[in-house]
Amino acid sequence: MNKRIIKFLPALITIIVAGVVFCCVQEKPSGIVITEDLPGTEETPAEKLPGSGQDIWVYVSGCVRHPGVYRLEAGARVFEAVEMAGGMTEDAGEGILNLAQELKDGQQICVPSGEQTYPEGNKLQEADDGRININTATEAELMSLPGIGKVKAGSIIRYREVTPFLVIEDIMNVQGIKEEAFRKIKDLIKV
């Protein structure tokens, strides 16, 4: 009897090893997404992830715990992107960023620090380098930009009264100013 067991022992060991290897290389079920890169994250059911509608991608930077590019559903708001990035850090300047603003695909959300000052009611203050500050410019200064007339200048002013521009690309959030108009003025403006 012992000779029979010894004869089948290598085959039995091979079957056990193959079973262990098979179990180890199996993928997780397709309904689970693992986010290993972020500390403290857990497995999330796929039905709770963005993706049921049209997705957008936004870059969240500045004073957040996990800066990076995040996928959200179209129609998502700034506060949702900030939450996906782990929330604001302790040095974030609360009240400066409009958390209720609707996001657009390719948008950057930069959460400013509390050290950044906004004198004159949410207007950034920087040294004069010849470029027009779209947060503080008058209607006439804005109209001096190529392709910006009275209507677009008024739209820029109304927009910044609600949401200050944090990066120059934010000007494309203003109705009537898209990528082509932005290319004409990007080297002439600042925030």
- Whether 165 is in a domain gets the answer yes
Tell me the pTM: 0.39
Q: Which of 111, 135, 152 is the last residue of a domain?
A: 111
In whole angstroms, give the CA distance from residue 181 to residue 43.
43
Q: What is the pLDDT of residues 61-106, one digit of tens each?
A: 888 999 999 999 999 999 999 999 999 998 887 777 788 888 888 8
Q: Which of 102, 133, 136, 107 is nearest to 121 (CA)?
A: 136
Q: In this structure, are 128 and 171 located in the same domain?
A: yes
Q: With DSSP H G I counted as helix, E B as strand and the rest as coil, what are the percentages for the chain, rounded to 5?
A: 35, 15, 45
Q: pLDDT tens across 169-188, in order?
A: 999 999 889 999 999 999 99
Q: Are residues 145 and 185 in the same domain?
A: yes
CA distance 29 to 45: 10
